[in-house]
Structure 1
Amino acid sequence: MFREVPVLPLVVPLAAAVFLALLWHLRRRGMLSAPRAAVAFALCFYVAGVVANTVFPIYLDMPSRSGSPWHSSLYLEPFENYEVADAVMNIVVFVPVGMIVPLLLARTSWWRVVAVAAALSLTIEATQLLTARLLGGGHVADVNDLMFNVLGGLLGYVLFEVLSRVPGLGVALDRFRWR
């Protein structure tokens, strides 16, 4: 059994600090309301879950073979040895990005959501590569994850746009927007 960096003692306080900072930001701008606070909470909860499941585990005593990493930590070939279940999981995990970004940005479009999803996914993949190479991380940076995460963000945005056109629901969604 390998010793791991504990997840919850790191992720939960960080998420709580970011949540409080977001509430302070909203209050300072005179925009604090229960729906917007709910968006801030959802954002922090979502990001904490993504970090906990994509960056961790980080092993403290992972063995290496003659100084090389214990497994390959980077895949750059699209669709090679990539399972449908992994693709579906990455799409589903990033659908919330496509639904939260339009609530946070004053002006949003599909390409802005794609840019945010790509930046977030690229940050995750780079973190996975760095932790695997430097800290004994247990994940692999994969170009397929990046592609399917972006697709998930785009699908979330399409879903958000469809829902915002439903009579009555669009007005309700406006109460959650940060503009």
Structure 2
Amino acid sequence: MLKGTVLVLALPVIIIFLMVWNKKTRPSKFRLLGGIALAVYVLLLLDVTLFPLPVQSEVLRDRRLYGSPPNNLIPLKGLIGMMEHQSSAVLIRQIVGNILLFLPLGYLVPAIWKVRGVHRLAFIAFSVSLLIEGAQFLISQAIGYTYRIFDVDDLILNTLGGIIGYVIYAAFVPVIRAFEMDVVQHAKPSDGRSASSSANP
């Protein structure tokens, strides 16, 4: 119930932001579509990383009896542990999932704003991932149970996913710009049409 309520409240906020952004900056159609895609992505990212929240007292009481899983502050420790004690499928799912989770961020952010350079995008991806991990930690402290661990490996994989997304964007920039120029040229009336229309009364 809490999950649905939060997402429903977040949706109008994002819609208002997009409306104000569109009015003030007058973005191109591609940037506007990118902004809408980013808004949808943010909602899905929050849904995947923060929800559902175990707020029911019975659920929290049962989980506290078994103790909280430890946070991981040592790089690659969690992945090495999974390699030793979990199946390869679980390990691959953990790695690929965390990379794919931030790949859209690395593609959409430079497509909307003038963010150039792998180092800048890496900083943005790392910061967003750190905010999510920090939110998970604070929520766990608030409810008295580590419902999702703070994992430095997630920071590394999320940042890598953002970098890969940026590389994909950079590779497609010439194609996107050529397509935008083609759309603009087709949208403008040709010289012949302008001359004929001006000649006719």
**Which category describes the TM-score, using the shorter chain as reference length?**
0.7 to 0.9
Q: Which runs of 5+ in 1 are unaligned?
A: none
- CA RMSD in angstroms, aligned pairs only: 2.2
| Alpha-carbon distance, 1:137 to partner | 6.0
2:173 corresponds in structure 1 to 164
| Alpha-carbon distance, 1:76 to partner | 1.1
2:73 corresponds in structure 1 to 76
Aligned-residue sequence identity (percent) comes to 25
Q: So what's the TM-score if we normalise by structure 2?
A: 0.73
1:56 corresponds in structure 2 to 51
1:148 corresponds in structure 2 to 157
Per chain length, whose mean CA-contact separation is higher, i.e. which structure has more relative contact order (CA < 8 Å, sep 6+)? 1
| Alpha-carbon distance, 1:75 to partner | 1.0
CA contact (8 A) 1:102 1:157 kept: yes
1:8 corresponds in structure 2 to 4
Larger Rg: 2
Aligned AA for 1:86? Q
Moved more, 118-127 or 81-90: 81-90
Structure 1 pair 107–86 and aligned structure 2 pair: CA distance change class (3 A):
closer
Structure number having the greater helix percentage: 2
CA distance in 2, matches of 1:95, 1:138: 25
| Alpha-carbon distance, 1:109 to partner | 1.3
1:123 corresponds in structure 2 to 131
CA distance in 1, matches of 2:38, 2:137: 24
Q: How many residues align?
A: 165
| Alpha-carbon distance, 1:126 to partner | 0.3
Q: Which runs of 5+ in 2 are unaligned?
A: 80-90, 184-201
Q: So what's the TM-score if we normalise by structure 1?
A: 0.81
CA contact (8 A) 2:125 2:162 kept: yes
2:99 corresponds in structure 1 to 91
CA distance in 1, matches of 2:180, 2:138: 38
CA distance in 1, matches of 2:78, 2:47: 25
